[in-house]
Amino acid sequence: MSKQTYRVCFCFRRRFRLAASEAPPDVKDIFNRYSENGVMSAEQLRQFLVDVQSEEGATLEDAQAIMDSLKHLNIFHRRGFNLESFFKYLFGDVNPPLNPNLGVHHDMNSPLSHYFIHTGHNSYLTGNQLSSDCSDVPIINALQKGVRVIELDIWPNSTDDDVVVLHGRTLTTPVELIKCLKSIKEHAFVASEYPVVITLEDHLTPVLQAKVAEMITQTFGDILFTPDSECLSVFPSPESLKKRVMISTKPPKEYLHAKKVPEKESDSKQGKDSGDEEAWGKEVKNLKSEMDDEDEDVDIEDDDEDDDEEDRKAEQNTAPEYKRLIAIRAGKGKGGMLDWLRVDPNKVRRLSLSEQELEKSIETYGKDIVRFTQRNLLRVYPKGIRFDSSNYNPLIGWMHGAQMVAFNMQGYGRSLWVMHGMFKANGGCGYVKKPDFLLKADSYGEVFDPRATLPVKTTLRVTVYMGEGWYFDFRHTHFDAYSPPDFYARVGIAGVPADTIMKKTKTLEDNWIPNWDEVFEFPLTVPELALLRIEVHEYDMSEKDDFAGQTCLPVNELRKGIRAVPLSSRKGEKYNSVKLLMRFEFV
């Protein structure tokens, strides 16, 4: 037998060997500190919960309930935890990084403008922006995951006697509007009881607008919120709108036929935003690198491009029954950006900007945008050349107070993972209360400046102990045909530019259960907007590294102490077994 043949056989033989998980040194030390003669009693576990896990209100009953939940395991000692059962508890599903019992805990009685809202873009598309199918399936999926703003582009059908949903002037196949509306009603409150907003991009004649009004009224009935006056003076609260549906749109400026791809859009198809992402998505850019992007913004959308004068002309031709349904009116002023951002003390509205419009405007008008979003709604949507349904850095919108940062929910990648992380907060209800500094001016009348150099408020210390579960959730040849995988972890912060950073552990070779045992510190100037990003990859010397799991967690809701952190797929679906053991401390 040749040496090479022997090596291959040896690798195949060792490929399926899996060492047992062993508690890291820190865990052993803590167990010794809170145990006696190798056994941790319920009272000692309670003291551990208070001292190490920062669960100040933990009772003896809480500790006993944890122990009782593990009694089915053969490793359980009759008088309490031994080291093995204590380690199993720490690394188990009962010890997640976010409190599953916290639920909705933000104040929900403020105006809608005081919340970040989980918002979809072109919610009906199954894939890319040019040729994919339109369907109610992605709408249903989005609602089931807690998305609260659904966007529908509505157009006349081919015979001009009915209304369909499609991405206008592209090759996307249409879906009937009534089908989308019925699916929204059926699934609107499956994941959250807080309001659903339907944003309509309207390309209809008054006759068809009247038909849409009838469809909406008959479909939603009493759950449809319609304002008492033409324009709201202040937005209602999410609490007051529980299990209600709202319509947001502006009067149409034109009547256009669909299904035609403009030449300039086809020619732009090879823009650098299309097709240059890694298997798991491009790294999320920070503010500066976003501003350095020189691509022209070729928008397929017509969002709010007309001014007030055109709106007024269009309103004369708008079906009155349709107009009465509009709860959140959208539109821009007739002047430039300052006029668009004008705050009217007597009425509120929605303004839409493309991601590039926002990036350019914050250079000069950053604080004006923050001031605008204290009362009004700002929607940000992807630039037109994102034909592949990719996304952008949502923090640019959030740090300026934008409530509706609209995302392609089928555009899996790092930007969407950050979006998922933000809306894990507040019980996953789709509404996250904005921090106070985005809601009001300070004592000097100044609003928050995202570009200001701020002092460090707190430092998050993250210990990455180890990981496990890939052996059970992946084919044993998934990462390497002949040997165990070579895992490394990436840990960092998505937040304001000063806080945004990613760090990396060492790569551990040939190990299904990597024990990195590394500590990272992240000084945070704006912890209220910080999200902890976690990824695991498998090093590949000859090709791109393999994706092995990710998650993103709101820093403000992290539970201190040693926690089991479940990882998810690129699509955000939680793996059955893959998780990391980590420790979170604020120092």
- Which residue in the list 118, 167, 203, 420 is annotated as catalytic? 167
C-alpha span between 74 and 60 (Å, rounded): 23
Residue 71's CB is within 10 A of a number of other CB atoms, namely 9
Residue listed under structure tokens 């449809």: 224
**Do 493 and 500 touch, CB atoms closer than 8 A?**
yes
Type of residue numbered 321: E
Cα separation of 340 and 336, whole Å?
Answer: 6
Give the helix/strand (H/E) hosting 523. Answer: strand 515-524
- Token pair 């995951």 is found at 145
Closest CA to 511 of 566, 575, 466: 466
Backbone φ and ψ for 524, nearest 5 degrees, come out as: -120, 125
Sign of the torsion formed by the C-alpha atoms of 444, 448, 450 and 454: positive
Active-site hit among 72, 77, 105, 121: 121
Strands laid side by side in the 561-568 sheet = 501-504, 487-494, 531-538, 546-554, 561-568, 574-586, 458-468, 515-524
User: Which residues, other chains included, contact 345 with Cβ-Cβ below 8 Å and sequence gap of 6+?
Assistant: none
Strand-pair partners of 150: 198
* C-alpha–C-alpha distance, residues 358 and 381, integer Å: 9
Helices in 91-221 by DSSP H: which ranges? Answer: 137-144, 177-187, 206-220
What is the residue type of 185?
K
Task: Identify whether 478 is a catalytic site residue.
Answer: no
Residue 121 known to be catalytic: yes
Burial category of 531 from C-beta neighbours within 10 Å (exposed 0-12, middle 13-18, buried 19 and up): buried
Q: Could you give the CA distance from residue 314 to residue 318 in angstroms, rounded to a whole number?
A: 6
What are the residues whose beta carbons fall under 8 Å from the beta carbon of 380, sequence distance 6 or more? 352, 353, 354, 355, 358, 396, 397, 402, 404, 405, 406
Distance between CA atoms of 507 and 514, rounded to whole angstroms? 9
Given a contact cutoff of 8 angstroms between Cβ atoms, the answer to whether 124 and 134 are in contact is: yes
Active site residues: 121, 167
